[in-house]
Amino acid sequence: MLKLLQTSRCWLLALLCPALVQAFPMHKVTVPLGHPANGSILHLPEQRQLWVSGFSQYERWLTQVDLSNYQTRSIAVPEQAQYFSQAKLAGQDAEQLVLLTLDGILQLEQRDGQFSWRQLLRTESIFRVIDPVRLRERNFSLDLGSGLSDFLIPDFQAYHLYRQQADGSFRHFALPVSARIQTWNNNRADYSGRRYFTLDANLDGLTDLLFVQEGQMQIYVQQSDGSFSTEPWLPGWPVTLSTEQQADQRSDAGRSYSGQNISSLEEVRDLDGDGIPDLVVRIEQIADALERSARFQVYFGRQIEAGLSFPAQFDTEIKVDSVPTEVVIADFNGDGRADFYIPTTKIGVGTIVRVLLRGSANLDVDFYLLAANRRYPAKANFRQQAKIDVSISNLRFDMPLFELVDLRGDGRKHLVLGEAGNELRFFAPDARGLFNRNSDRVQFILPRDASRVRVFDLTADGKSDLVLPYDSLDAEGQRNQLILLFSANGEAGL
């Protein structure tokens, strides 16, 4: 049922901190949901919609937020649905909401205020049994160059590629890429689809698919008619990756991991802005169960007569002295080159004692900028510290709010940091470095788990907006809602 929301419209910082009105005017809208916002958030920009999933121990929800009037509407989720995503479909002007189910893919049709589900295609997948109380976003659609969405679905013995045709039909290609499996001594078996990468591997102007199996990069090449080869091409690039046996860290094999190095493919993308794909290889160095470090080695792609090639020796690298919790690669300062930020936390006796005594752990976030000479620095260009809240009694850890947002629309990012659950800090971009060392502070009640905060351009003005989701465990008065923070319009913006 449609609900007219009570929206909170205010200049956020004018209300909370008048001295900063000229620096940080933001528009705040509160969107009650009627269920926890503890699942995923999907933005459909052309339809001006957000889709928010949530769940409890016994139930799951999927809610549409209309960004033109902030009305919400919950829809019935098909019993066999497991994941949702968006897709550009033939005959549709805007992207559509799609579901991956036990036996295929469904499209949500919206006509005259009514919702219905239409079967797009039938397919098997690795997801043979439904988790009945979870519904999350999963990226199972991609555009391989036609301007329409294709679907790539993992299965046990293959990846199913469905290429969308101009008439809305699909061509099926079974790529022989098996799932990864790990079995455990309690008879548990974990299956997962392998990560895929997209690139133009032979520089013919067509997008190809890359998978890693048994330490080898295997490429499925797109043909001129849009079909895909079902036999992998092994490019033979001189980049060493660990096999699955070498990377297996289960402790029941009687193996010592002391002194081991495990190499994996972290990313394939153009880092230096020359239009040629580059490789990022992650090397995890293991001293013992607690002491670990990592390196990220970058191989810049070269164009040769035969196509794409890479050097035998990496071109530049980044070293971190602990284990990254994630790796984010993007252009932070608008120079057209890809930079890194890497959050890390040290797992040692000191961290364990701190968690027991204070209920928190330190998080170091290091920023590395790619220079004009195509080198990353030996020391981070900028470091910011944050805290992870840990609840041992509830077996829960809550990540801090830590986001990069383009608040002016010029490509240069602000750093937004949450502190103590009730404060936002804004670090403005700095021409001499990356961010100013001093920040502007705003009192604001933050979500308990800020890892679910999302950054979108909700108004199509080229500026970043923040979506803060709150669940049933947040503070009284904040529960089960979204708060949208919009960048201000005009020159007096953030």
pLDDT tens-digit readout, 36-66: 999 999 999 999 999 999 999 999 999 999 9
CB burial of 454-463 (b: ≥16 within 10 Å; e: otherwise) equals: bbbbbeeeeb
Beta-sheet strand order (sheet of 41-44): 41-44, 49-55, 60-66, 72-74
- What one-letter code names the amino acid at 45? P
DSSP E strands, 25-67: 26-32, 41-44, 49-55, 60-66
The pLDDT of residue 325 is: 85
**Domain ranges within the chain, ordered by starting residue:** 80-236
CA distance 14 to 107: 43
**Secondary structure percentages of the chain, helix, strand, coil, to 5:** 5, 45, 50
How does DSSP assign 370-425, residue by residue?
PPTTS---SS-SEEEEEEEEEETTTTEEEPPPEEEE-SSSSSBPEEEEEETTTEEE
pLDDT tens-digit readout, 288-322: 666 788 999 999 999 998 889 999 999 999 999 88
Neighbours of 92 (CB within 10 A): 15
Beta-sheet strand order (sheet of 292-299): 260-269, 278-286, 292-299, 316-320
CA distance 128 to 195: 19
How does DSSP assign 72-110, residue by residue?
EEE-PPPTTEEEEEEE--TT-SS-EEEEEESSEEEEEEE
Asked if 369 and 433 count as a contact pair (C-beta separation under 8 A), the reply is no
Asked if 215 and 234 count as a contact pair (C-beta separation under 8 A), the reply is no
- Digit-by-digit pLDDT tens for the chain (494 residues) are 434 344 444 444 433 443 333 345 578 999 999 999 999 999 999 999 999 999 999 999 999 999 999 999 999 999 999 999 999 999 999 999 999 999 999 999 988 888 999 999 999 999 999 999 999 999 999 999 999 999 999 999 999 999 999 999 999 999 999 999 988 888 889 999 999 999 999 999 999 999 999 999 999 999 999 999 999 999 999 999 999 888 876 666 666 667 788 999 999 999 999 999 999 999 998 876 667 889 999 999 999 988 899 999 999 999 998 888 889 999 999 999 999 999 987 665 455 545 554 556 678 899 999 999 999 999 999 998 877 766 555 555 667 788 999 998 989 999 999 887 888 989 999 877 789 888 888 888 999 888 899 999 999 999 999 999 999 988 889 999 999 999 875 333 33
